[in-house]
Structures are given as C-alpha cells and as structure tokens.
Amino acid sequence: MLKLFVNIDHVATLREARYRGCARGEPDPVAAALACEASGAHGITAHLREDRRHIQDRDVWRLRESIRTCLNFEMADTPEIVALALAIKPEIVCIVPERREEVTTEGGLNVVAAEGDLSRTRQRLNDAGIDVSLFIAPEEGQVAAAARVGAQFVELHTGAFAGQFDDLNRRDFQTARLVAASKQAHGLGLKVNAGHGLNYENLPALRQVPHLAELNIGHSVVSRAVMVGLPGAVTEMLLLLEGYRA
C-alpha cells in the first residue's frame, strides 16, 4: 500500500504570517496534523528549518506527544537540529539541504560530496532507533552514495517531474529518471519515498514509478483545504493513491 504523509509546514506558514514571535496563534499545525490522521493520512511530515520560518520547536514537541501515526522529521544535517532529533525521537528523519534564500527546499542532497558526514549522522540516528531517509535527486550517483551511507530510505525529489509536467516530452523524460532511480534504490535494499511539487493533477502519472512506499505531500493538500477543508483534501489525495501496485 502506498502511504500518504501530509506535510503540515504551510499550515505553520499561515500562522507565522500573522502570529510570528507569539507563543500561540492560528491555524494550529498540530490540530491540522490530527485532522489529517483522522482523515486517513498514514503519517505527518514537518520540517524544522534552521531559520524557523514556519514550524517551531514547540510544534515538533507537541507533534511527538500528540500524533498516533508516524512522525517524519525533515531537517538539515547540523549539530543543533541533529541533537533535537535525538531528543524528540521521531520514527524517521529525512535529511534535506537548506539554503536561507530559498522559498522551499530546492534540489536534493549532494550525498556524494558529504558521504562521511552523512554516514556519521545516520549512525547516530540509527543508534537512537530512528530510521534515516536522504532527500536526493533521481541520479544514479546519488542513489549509490545513499546506499553507501547506510540510509534506510531515499526520498526522490520530484520537483523536476512536477515542474515540467505540462510538457509531455519533458514529463516522460523526468518520469523515466524517477523509474530508473527507484529501481536502482530498490535493488540496493533502500526503501523509496518521493515528494516535492506533487499535486492532484500530476500524482496519477507517478504511478509509473515502481517500489514507492510513501509520498510526502504538503502544499497541494493545504491549498486544497482552503476550498474543501482539510479532511476533504486528505480524502481526495488518498483516493488518488488507491490501486497503486509497487
């Protein structure tokens, strides 16, 4: 079964637009997470960025205390955030690149260039009982490096697939890249997740990619929720996942 993890970062983005620096505010990302769970989401994803632009430390602690499914904690490989992950103990950590000037995470990790550091961080997290995923572009070298690091998962960056979806030739090319990377990762013993830019329009085309375990989708679900409510948005996305054969 293909699982849906809902990323609640942009619920916090909306809150921070009005209540930045306040101890409380609305909408509450933890309440949103619980609504997603109640509507059938298999897990919750939250990215605690170094600049704390949306999710705050208190949100992650409350998520850990409140949700009953699975917490996927997205983070950069920095000492402060690694220490926090070790204290919070999410079920899975997804290590992502961060640049202060980006609006959202753009591009995958350069695992090849950071193999040593990532291996050490992966070992510390695994020793604490936390699975590790690496957010990578669907490139042969990065998949191979992720396996050498010892990660349990890779999350394939679907941004190019989503960004070029309207051009049929480019869509087919990007889909082929994802198919090849997923097959390679599976063959190396890695579990395969995917995310970035996935929405209600392009998700059906992703069915061509084999071996997918989990999808991380946030902005599209939160945007749809403005029109139909969060339970309706989650339900509609889950319907698109039905029948996927890995």
Q: Residue 41, Cβ neighbours under 10 Å: how many?
A: 27
Tokens of 45: 């994803």
What angle in degrees, to the nearest 10, is found between the helix axes of 57-66 and 79-88? 20
Backbone φ and ψ for 6, nearest 5 degrees, come out as: -95, 125
Give yes or no: 196 in active site.
Answer: yes
Which of 230, 227, 226, 195 has its CA nearest to residue 38? 230
Spot the catalytic one: 10, 42, 47, 186. Answer: 47
Q: Are 85 and 121 in contact (CB under 8 A)?
A: no
Q: Is the peptide bond before 231 cis (omega within 30 degrees of 0)?
A: no
Q: Which segments of 20-139 does DSSP mark as H helices, in order?
A: 29-38, 57-66, 79-88, 115-127
Spot the catalytic one: 10, 157, 186, 196. Answer: 196
Which of 239, 230, 215 has its CA nearest to residue 39? 230
CA 81, distance to chain mean position in Å, is: 16
Give yes or no: 47 in active site.
Answer: yes
Spot the catalytic one: 10, 16, 37, 74. Answer: 74
The catalytic site residues sit at 47, 74, 196
